[in-house]
Structure 1
Amino acid sequence: MFSPQGPSLRELAVQALSSVERGYDLLAPKFDHTPFRTPESILGATREALAELGPFGAGVDVCCGTGAGMEVLQPLCPGRSTGIDFSAGMLGQARAAHPDASWVRGDARALPFGEAFDLAVTFGALGHFLPAERPALFAEVFRALRPGGLFAFPIGTPPPPTSVGHWVTLGFDVAMRVRNAVWRPPFVMYYRTTPLVAVRDDLVAAGFAVRAVPLTPLGRNSDGSPRCRLFLGRKPA
């Protein structure tokens, strides 16, 4: 499915009926051949925006998956670059692709770091956390950053109700809620649980000074809003 190298429909079904961790262990060998991997356009736009805010020392990719975020971290962080994820399968793929980075298996809600990094990023992972879990996640990233450190992540602007994207994401989230209501273990992955105002409020509550900038290379929606914004949370020096 998606490409000759991607997972089959059966493999995706097995993954979707597994836990999040087990599902990504199963998907890991073919993950980079699916649309779920963060696109190069988003990685490039994020890297360009962050290049104006450095220099940085050490960097960490939270919920790193197969390591796509290293395309952002390694050019910007001359110190060590680290990825953390709870899927051993995804980390295995990341380690093979970027053997010069450090890889840690762990839960982002209990990061095994303390004031160790100048830059933290995450890509496409917030949908794996329920809204009630997001404040604790942000507090852990805050704790892992050195004073003055920066937490950065892109979020797509919700598509307008008249767009196909609106109904696709709504349909996906409804299907996942039905699946999780009738099947265990749950598979937490939602597209509509990260409203921009709520994300900003949770960052502020964690202690960050927050601003969001449009990633202009990614274009605009039909209503003029940017398709994607880069949230920037700065830990006070």
Structure 2
Amino acid sequence: MFSPEGPSFPALVRQALSSVEHGYDLLADTFDATPFRTPDRVLDAVAEALEPLGPFDSGLDVCCGTGAGLAVLRSACAGPTVGVDFSAGMLAEARRAHPGATLVRADALALPFAPVFDLAVSFGAFGHFEPAAQRGLFAQVHASLCPGGTFAFPLPAPPRVGSTPYWTLWGFDAAMRVRNVLWRPPFVMYYRTFRLADVRARLTDAGFGVDLLPVRSLGTREDGSPRCRLVVARKSGRAGAPQTP
């Protein structure tokens, strides 16, 4: 599951018993060698799917971590790109990998930006927000976008009920619930709290118009549905809407 460059088992235990912020500080220098980093094929597919939705000027990577998503912003945006995260350790790694980006340490539930961004993206971070907090997160992103701005992120199809991945995610979430009852500080990371219908409703409540685009390069499932969709949430204020490629 992990490459030799990845974290040791004791390091993962220390992370799991820490807060989310401190846990990622501990994991930062080995994070890119774990399966938790968004794969390059997903990043490349999102960049390709965003291309016909532009042009975009400035871009924001929400919960940027070590900065994998900043490459997507660089390909999609003609102007400056900014990454925001609350882990100083993850930002230090992002700064080494992307010296040209502006990196800001802040809580995603209290973003310190005026409404200046044309595009916001996020990769792999939503499991750190309980459903109630997701509403606040979306409201903060909405407030950081200029009129007509776009918030886009990939949303993989859920595993088939009863499959091995289904039970793996169910078991992980159950273990985290037990951990957070028995141990403080909590470590919020759940895989089954970000369902498409709920996400769409929360984005709409935050003021977005929402479209779903298939990420075709990531393929389809046996029933013909896409393995991954790009959620495209548009803030009102500019003519035009995303078109399905």
**TM-score, normalisation: structure 2:** 0.95
Q: Note if contact 1:3-1:33 (Cα within 8 Å) is conserved in structure 2.
A: yes
CA shift, 1:106, in A, is 0.1
In the alignment, residue 188 of structure 1 is paired with which amino acid? V
Aligned to 1:143: 143
CA shift, 1:198, in A, is 0.2
Aligned to 1:31: 31
CA shift, 1:114, in A, is 1.3
**TM-score, normalisation: structure 1:** 0.98
Aligned to 2:242: none
- In structure 2, how many angstroms separate the alpha carbons of the residues matched to 1:120 and 1:151? 5
State the secondary structure of the residue aligned to 1:191. Answer: coil
**1:7-51 Cα shifts (integer Å, max 9, x gaps):** 011110110110000000000000000000000111011000101
Q: Note if contact 1:160-1:223 (Cα within 8 Å) is conserved in structure 2.
A: no
Aligned to 1:156: 156
In the alignment, residue 175 of structure 2 is paired with which amino acid? A
Aligned to 1:80: 80
State the secondary structure of the residue aligned to 1:18. Answer: coil
Aligned to 1:186: 186
Q: Note if contact 1:159-1:221 (Cα within 8 Å) is conserved in structure 2.
A: no
Supply the RMSD in Å over aligned alpha carbons: 0.9
- In structure 2, how many angstroms separate the alpha carbons of the residues matched to 1:57 and 1:29? 31
Q: How does 1:1-237 map to 2 (within 5 A)?
A: 2-237=2-237
Q: Note if contact 1:213-1:231 (Cα within 8 Å) is conserved in structure 2.
A: yes
CA shift, 1:107, in A, is 0.4
- In structure 1, how many angstroms separate the alpha carbons of the residues matched to 2:114 and 2:55? 20
CA shift, 1:221, in A, is 2.6
Would you identify which runs of 4 or more consecutive aligned residues in structure 1 move more than 6 Å? none
State the secondary structure of the residue aligned to 1:52. Answer: helix
**1:99-139 Cα shifts (integer Å, max 9, x gaps):** 00000000000100011100000001110000011111101
In the alignment, residue 118 of structure 2 is paired with which amino acid? D
**1:165-194 Cα shifts (integer Å, max 9, x gaps):** 111111110111111110100000000000
CA shift, 1:222, in A, is 3.1
**1:68-112 Cα shifts (integer Å, max 9, x gaps):** 001100111121100000000000000000000000000000100
In the alignment, residue 120 of structure 1 is paired with which amino acid? A
- In structure 1, how many angstroms separate the alpha carbons of the residues matched to 2:20 and 2:205? 27
- In structure 2, how many angstroms separate the alpha carbons of the residues matched to 1:226 and 1:75? 24
- In structure 1, how many angstroms separate the alpha carbons of the residues matched to 2:104 and 2:38? 20
Q: Note if contact 1:214-1:226 (Cα within 8 Å) is conserved in structure 2.
A: yes
Gaps of 5+ in 2: 238-245
- In structure 2, how many angstroms separate the alpha carbons of the residues matched to 1:76 and 1:186? 36
- In structure 1, how many angstroms separate the alpha carbons of the residues matched to 2:184 and 2:222? 39
Q: Which moved more, 1:215-224 or 1:43-52?
A: 215-224
CA shift, 1:162, in A, is 3.3
